[in-house]
A and B are shown apart, each in its own frame.
Chain A
Amino acid sequence: DQQVKQNSPSLSVQEGRISILNCDYTNSMFDYFLWYKKYPAEGPTFLISISSIKDKNEDGRFTVFLNKSAKHLSLHIVPSQPGDSAVYFCAASGGEKLVFGKGTKLTVNP
């Protein structure tokens, strides 16, 4: 039973355009959500998070949107850069532990 789903395994975007990565969850007890970025052979690095009391959190080029009624969150990267090419993991927490999605591989083409 996959509680956190990233339905797009890959996404390709042109440099300078917007990248939108999506994540759906099923457990209504989740109240904290995070996005991680991962390069090959490296551990994931934390990008941005959002608490369930908010619907938007912005940090530079990265914005996370949370739609609690739809149990959906998304990560927007604007403008996208070639260095953003990586695998992005969505994670959710209900306080006990983190549950990860399977990741979306983003490729930003120059």
Chain B
Amino acid sequence: GAVVSQHPSRVICKSGTSVKIECRSLDFQATTMFWYRQFPKQSLMLMATSNEGSKATYEQGVEKDKFLINHASLTLSTLTVTSAHPEDSSFYICSADRDRPNTEAFFGQGTRLTVV
């Protein structure tokens, strides 16, 4: 089946630094990818919708200058957490839609970000 690969799976960074998370669709082209944040024992919070070749659409309350999203190709979207703070520590997960042969959604493995 189709695979979405997310990298890294875990990252620890210092406050004030930036961290980039990659989301790749390995065997299909994804014009749309989604970025989520998840807190322990809570449901996913959609942060933004990443569209290939255009600007991402951010959900209300998500700072677009802090969470930079780039969807430069049909197989890669990146989320960069800029000037990270300890409160940004969380689990981030991406998903990608495949349109053919059937419409399906695939989730990445997630990235555990810890800001110290």
The answer to the question of B34 belonging to the interface, with a C-beta cut-off of 8 Å to chain A, is yes
Q: Mark B77-91, 1 if CB is under 8 A from A, else 0.
A: 000000000000001
Contacts of A41 in B (CB 8 A): 32, 97, 103
A98–B38 CB distance below 8 A: yes
A-B contact count (CB 8 A): 48
Contact of A44 with B105 at beta-carbon distance under 8 Å, contacts A95-B41, A98-B44, A102-B1 already known:
yes
Taking residues whose C-beta sits less than 8 angstroms from the other chain, chain A's interface range is 20 to 34
Interface size of B by Cβ–Cβ distance < 8 Å? 23
Minimal beta-carbon separation of B47 from chain A (angstroms)? 9
How long is the Cα–Cα vector from A89 to B104 in the complex, in angstroms? 11
How long is the Cα–Cα vector from A55 to B43 in the complex, in angstroms? 19
Minimal beta-carbon separation of B83 from chain A (angstroms)? 24
